[in-house]
Amino acid sequence: MDNSGATQQSSGPPQGESNHVPLSPISFLERAVRVHPDRLAVVDGDVTLSYRGFYQRSRQLAGALQAMGITPGNVVSTLGMNSRAMLEAHYGVPMAGGVLNAINARLDGASIAFIMAHAESRVLIFDRSLRSVVVKALAQLESSPPLLIEVEDASDDGSPWDRPAPHAYESLLESATPCSPRLPDDECDCIALNYTSGTTGNPKGVIYSHRGAYLNALSNTLTLKMDDRTVYLWTLPMFHCNGWTHTWAVTAAGGTHVCMRRVEPARVLNMIHARGITHMAAAPIIMTMLLDRPEASTPLPRPVLLATGGAPPNSATIARMSALGFDVLHLYGMTETYGPSLVCQFQPEWSSMTHEARARLQIRQGVGTFAIERVALKDPVTHEDVPADGQSLGHLMLRGNTIMQGYIKNPDATREAMGRGWLDTGDIAVMHEDGYIEIRDRAKDIIISGGESISSIEIEEIMMSHPAIREVAVIARPHDFWGETPHAFVVSASGTDTPNEADLLNWCREHMAHFKVPRHITFQTSLPRTSTGKLQKYALREHQKTQMATA
C-alpha cells in the first residue's frame, strides 16, 4: 500500500474546534484546578490558597471587572507589590477579556499618569500603601480618571483622600458573580501591555499576545526545570514583564507561588528554610544582599535555582552563591521579549570545574530559550552575520514566537525595532565559538540599577531644566551593591553660580523617581564632543575610570 501521501494536508477544512484551540495562559489555571484542586497554590503572608480557591477568586475578579464595564480590549492597570491580588489580576483580567497593564510600583506620579493616559486605562487596582503616588497620578488625570479598586494591605501611608472612596478589593470579590472564563477568539489578541522605561523619551507600550505569553511561560518551565514540586519565592517584581511570565509559568507547572511584598534578605533566607523554596528569580543586587547576611555562612538545606538578569553579575558573586548552595542561572531579556530570551544553559562538563572557573562561563548571556527560534549578531547596516570568534562585535538580534506584537500607537518605533525581520535589541555583543553570546555594551546607554532600567536620556532632559545647568551627560557608574548607578557630568550655565552638589541632588529627588537620581555628579567646564558636535560618552567613561582609580 502506498502511503507516500498520507502525511500531506487533507483537502478538507484546515482547522476546527477539534484541532485548534487558541493558546492562552488562562488555560494553565483551568488545568491546575482540574488536576490538583486541593494543592497549595498561593502563600501570601498568613493567607494560603488552594488551586480551587485561586481559580475561584480569579473568576470573581473577572466578574467584578465585567460588572464595572470592562469589555474585550479594555485596559486594567495595576500598581502593587507581589501579592495574591497581583497574581489574581494575571488571570482575572484576561478572563474578563481585558488587557493587563502592570505598572512599575517604583515610578513617580507623573510617569504613572502618562502610562495610564496612553494606555487608556479604565480601571486601576492599587495597594493601599501606594496611595500617595496614586493621588499624585490622579491629579493629572482629571479628564479621564480610571475606576479605582484598593487592595487592603498591612500598611497605610496616611495620604489624604479627597475623592470618592475606591472599591475595596476583598469586598468587591465577595459580592461579585464569578465569571465563566473563555479563551480569546484570536490567540494573537493582547493579554498584557508593559511599558518600557522610556529609553528615548516617553515610555513605549509593548504589546504581549495570549500566544506569546503562553509560549514564554512554557519555555520558562522548561528552562528553569519547574514541575509540581516547585515552590517559587516571588523576589522578582510581578510588574517586570509580568514577572518574566513566571506568574503563568509556576501555575503551568502546578507549583506553589510564595509572595513577598518587599525583599528583605534575612526573610528571604528564612523563607528558603521554612517554606522549602526551590526556585526564585532576582536581579544581581539581591544576591549581594543575601551574601551580606551573616546567615549566608550556613549552606542551604537543599539547592535553590536562582535565575538572575539585568546588569551581568560578576563571577565572584556567582562563585560565592554556588558555594552557598544556589544554582545560579544567568538570563538575558527585555520588555520586548516577554522577559527572558537568552539563557546561559549549563553544560555537564562545567560540573567538574571550580566554582570560580565555572562562574566565568556563567556570566555570559548564553543561547536562545526554547521559544526563541534564532539568535544572531549582525552588522546593523548590512545585516550580515559577524564571526563567532569572541571578538567581533555586532548587534544582538532575535527572531521567534516570544517577540512583542509591537509598540501600541507607535508604528514608527515598531518598524525601527523589527522592520527587517529581526528584533534589533540595540545591545552590542560578541558570540563565542561555542555559540554563547556575551554582551559588551548597550547601544542606548541604558543604566541597570538594582534590576531597574534607567534611561540616561531621561535624566539628562530633567536635569537640563535646572536653571543653573547648561549641559549634562549621564553614564553608568559601576557599583558593588546596585550593579550600576547614574553618574552625571554637568556644565554650569554662564552667568550663574555653580550649584552645590547636595542642593542639585535634592532638586533631582524632587523631579524624578529616587532610584533614577545620580549618585555622583562631576562638574566640567565642557563636555567632550566630535567636530560635528556629537557627544563622546566613551571619553566620559575613560574620565570616570581615572577618577575612580585615583579616588
Cα separation, 263 vs 250, whole angstroms: 19
Instruction: Decide if 104 contacts 78 (C-beta within 8 A).
Output: no
Per-residue pLDDT of the chain (551 residues; tens, 9 = 90+): 444 444 445 555 677 888 889 999 999 999 999 999 999 999 999 999 999 999 999 999 999 999 999 999 999 999 999 999 999 999 999 999 999 999 999 899 999 999 999 999 999 999 999 999 999 999 999 788 999 999 998 776 667 777 888 999 999 999 999 998 888 999 999 999 999 875 446 789 999 999 999 999 999 999 999 999 999 999 999 999 999 999 999 999 999 999 999 999 999 999 999 999 999 998 887 888 888 888 877 889 899 999 998 766 777 788 889 889 999 999 999 999 999 999 999 999 998 998 888 888 988 999 999 999 999 999 988 999 999 999 888 899 999 999 999 999 999 999 999 989 999 998 888 899 999 998 876 666 778 888 887 878 778 878 888 888 888 999 999 998 888 999 999 988 876 777 888 889 999 999 999 999 999 999 998 888 754 456 788 789 888 988 888 87
DSSP state of 146: P
In this structure, are strands 423-431 and 520-524 parallel, antiparallel, or unpaired? unpaired
Q: Which residues pair with residue 202 across a beta bridge?
A: none
Q: How far is CA 359 from CA 312, 354, 483, in A?
A: 12, 8, 17
- Three-state SS for 403? coil
- Three-state SS for 491? strand
Q: Where do we find the cell 482540574?
A: 34
DSSP state of 529: B
> What is the phi/psi pair of residue 106, to 5°?
-95, -5
For the entire predicted model, the pTM comes to 0.85
Cα separation, 345 vs 368, whole angstroms: 9
Quick one: residue 19, left, alpha or beta (phi over 0 = left, psi -120 to 50 = alpha)? alpha
Residue type for 146, please?
P
- Three-state SS for 488? strand
Q: Where do we find the cell 475623592?
A: 163
Cell of 288: 549581594
Cell of 246: 513566571
Cα separation, 230 vs 251, whole angstroms: 10
Cα separation, 349 vs 43, whole angstroms: 37
Cα separation, 393 vs 395, whole angstroms: 7
Residue type for 500, please?
N
Contacts of residue 541, Cβ cutoff 8 Å, sequence gap at least 6 = 475
Q: Which domains does the chain have, with CATH numbers?
A: 51-210 (3.40.50.12780), 269-442 (3.40.50.12780), 446-550 (3.30.300.30)
- Give all strands of the β-sheet with 394-400 in edge-to-edge order: 372-378, 394-400, 423-431, 437-442
Our measurement of the distance from residue 407's CA atom to the centroid of its chain's CA atoms, rounded to an integer in Å, reads 16
Q: Which residues pair with residue 328 across a beta bridge?
A: 306
Cell of 134: 496614586
